[in-house]
Chains A and B, each alone.
Chain A
Amino acid sequence: MPALDYPAPIRELILQMKSLPGIGQRSAERLVLWMMGRGHARAAELARALVQLEQRVGICSECGFFIERDSACGLCESDKRQKTVLCVVEQAADVLRLERSGAFSGLYHVLGGRLSPLDNITPSDLRIRELAARVPALGVEEVILALSADVEGEATSNYLADSLRPLGVKVTRLAQGMPAGGGLDHVDEMTLHHALSGRRAM
């Protein structure tokens, strides 16, 4: 007789949960059992939310931030934003962090990560070609690089600065004061505000 285990659908969901960042076997089990509470009502709610995520959320082909599918990008299409300054960030969450700091009113460009040859992440894995196309198309005068202050972030900044220089655009980066080794998620809004206003040319 085989050893007793959960039915297959539960095992499958536990496997899915375990693939999420920061979730181990025991947390995965706990989450799945919680979802089966209230006569599977929680599972149904979660399933609905996941379907919505897949069906309704898209990515702006310009800036790379999230949009509701088939609607205009609240950032790129806004006429209140300064179109001659472009701020490059690693991930979508960084856009919100900078927005909350209130220090920036230009456009954003989400890179989708940073260069890391040892992890096999090359320039073609990032939205660098899109960036090089947007700069002349929008008539951008300054590109602000707001990437992490660790080795990979710095290397990506250096690479972007070298790639953008031939386009004749001014390239700056966040001021020192950013914690060494940290990304934007380690910084409070005040520090971010200072780092933006004290940015320096590359």
Chain B
Amino acid sequence: MEKNGQGKTSLLEAACVLMRLQSPRTSTRSDLIRFGAQACVTEGAVGGRKLRVAQSPTARRVAVNDSVCPRAGDYLMQSARVVWMDHSDMNLARGGAEHRRRYLDFAAAQLFPEYLNALKSYERALRSRNFLLKRDAAISWRQVDAYGRILAEHGAVIRRCREDLIQRVQEPVTAAHLGLSAGAEPGAVSYLPGYPGENLEAALLEVRDSEARLRTTQVGVHRDDLALTIHGRPAGAFASEGQQRTLCLALKLAQARVLEEAQGEPPLLLIDDIFGELDKTRRQALLAYLPAHGQKVITTTFTDWASETGVGGLVYEVEDGQLKERGI
């Protein structure tokens, strides 16, 4: 707990970076470094292993048990899985598709070892392809198509992983949503692919005319989305704020279930300041639904709710960037 602005979110973020080498809110690493500082070192232990991430503005070095991992993939395999929850989860229901794709990416990267590489290659090829579409008055389709084939190759991997993830997540989402809404509201999620058919290269050929006009890549997994529904109706347009919040929580809880099933152990839950904004019923339902085993780190600005719901665990206070243990 803390007064606002004392750094509890940074603490959770550091844990997230240490486990997954990415922040839940930024994609550029240098954002993590304290303004004016040269570098940033994070250390911690998980499952008996000592993890260490050293980040400078230009380079990152990661180590497990003091031996440097040249490949990020090897490091991530030895680290813990993470689920991040904060108030911006509301964007899953209310925000643009990029928020739902980030949900897919954050979870799929932890489930499928091939995902992150495919995603990075896809994004790189997409940038080049869009640049080529914009650059010349007469588009050089041979160059554009050279990248289209790469999009198709990596896009197929990304789609397969996302489909698989959503298939695994569907049932736990509905279950968690029923639990959180006291059995009143059936919520569901499904995958909306960003290109028709099985073959992205063929789909790109189909939209050639509109690409020539709009000068940007019209189909592909960068246009993927999720359909969220409550009572079979789109949650973004028809649900109340409370219902949307419940569904977004359910999506994150389901992510935790899926990671636990795949990994055999529950992920680390990093929960930033969401209990204050829930009503008592949802709060209790959420606490009851969190995985019983496994570590949860919860931040909050006040602890009344914690004594009211009888949540156990250690309580620390953050003041002026310092951490102090304290009784509940």
| Residues of A with C-beta under 8 A to B150 | 151, 154-155, 158
CB under 8 Å from chain B, chain A span 137-176 = 150-151, 154-156, 158-159, 162-163
Contact A151:B125 (CB < 8 A) given known A117-B131, A117-B132, A117-B135: yes
* Contact residues of A: prevailing secondary structure: helix
Contact present for A162 and B142 (CB under 8 Å): yes
| Residues of A with C-beta under 8 A to B127 | 118
| Residues of B with C-beta under 8 A to A180 | 117
Indicate if A84 sits at the interface (CB-CB under 8 A): no
CB distance from B38 to the nearest CB of A (A): 16
CB under 8 Å from chain A, chain B span 81-106 = none
CB under 8 Å from chain A, chain B span 242-285 = none
Indicate if B124 sits at the interface (CB-CB under 8 A): yes
Contact present for B142 and A155 (CB under 8 Å): no
Contact A118:B131 (CB < 8 A) given known A123-B143, A151-B150, A154-B150: yes
A159 CA to B129 CA, complexed, in Å: 13
CB under 8 Å from chain A, chain B span 128-167 = 128, 131-132, 135, 142-143, 145-147, 149-150
CB distance from B140 to the nearest CB of A (A): 8
Contact present for A158 and B128 (CB under 8 Å): no
A80 CA to B149 CA, complexed, in Å: 38
Q: Between A and B, how many residue pairs show CB distances below 8 Å? A: 43
CB distance from B122 to the nearest CB of A (A): 9
Contact present for B142 and A117 (CB under 8 Å): no
Indicate if B170 sits at the interface (CB-CB under 8 A): no
Interface residues on chain B, number (Cβ under 8 Å): 16
Interface string of A111-144 (1 = CB under 8 A from B): 0000111100011000000000000000000000
Contact A151:B143 (CB < 8 A) given known A118-B128, A118-B131, A158-B149: no
| Residues of A with C-beta under 8 A to B146 | 115, 155-156, 158-159, 162
| Residues of B with C-beta under 8 A to A122 | 143
CB distance from B27 to the nearest CB of A (A): 17
Contact present for B124 and A151 (CB under 8 Å): yes
CB distance from B95 to the nearest CB of A (A): 29
Contact A155:B131 (CB < 8 A) given known A163-B142, A180-B117: no
Indicate if B218 sits at the interface (CB-CB under 8 A): no
| Residues of B with C-beta under 8 A to A158 | 145-147, 149-150
| Residues of A with C-beta under 8 A to B128 | 116-118, 151, 155
Contact present for B125 and A159 (CB under 8 Å): no
Contact present for A155 and B147 (CB under 8 Å): yes
A159 CA to B150 CA, complexed, in Å: 11
Contact present for B142 and A159 (CB under 8 Å): yes
Contact present for B143 and A159 (CB under 8 Å): yes
| Residues of A with C-beta under 8 A to B124 | 151
CB under 8 Å from chain B, chain A span 63-96 = none
| Residues of A with C-beta under 8 A to B147 | 151, 155, 158
A158 CA to B145 CA, complexed, in Å: 8
CB distance from A186 to the nearest CB of B (A): 12
Indicate if B121 sits at the interface (CB-CB under 8 A): yes
A151 CA to B152 CA, complexed, in Å: 12
From the candidates A123, A155, A162, name the one contacting B125 in the complex (CB within 8 A). A155
A191 CA to B17 CA, complexed, in Å: 35
Smallest Cβ-Cβ distance to A157: which chain B residue: B146
| Residues of A with C-beta under 8 A to B145 | 158, 162
CB distance from B63 to the nearest CB of A (A): 22
Provide 14 A-B residue pairs closer than 8 Å at the C-beta atoms, listed in order of the A residue: A117-B135, A117-B143, A118-B127, A118-B128, A123-B143, A151-B121, A154-B150, A155-B143, A155-B150, A158-B147, A158-B149, A158-B150, A159-B146, A180-B117
Q: What 9 pairs between A and B have smallest CB-CB spacing?
A: A158-B146, A159-B146, A155-B146, A151-B124, A158-B149, A117-B128, A117-B131, A151-B125, A117-B132
Known: A162-B142, A180-B117. 7 other contacts (CB 8 A): A117-B128, A117-B131, A151-B121, A155-B146, A158-B146, A158-B150, A159-B142
Show the binding face of A for B, using Cβ within 8 Å: 115-118, 122-123, 150-151, 154-156, 158-159, 162-163, 180-181
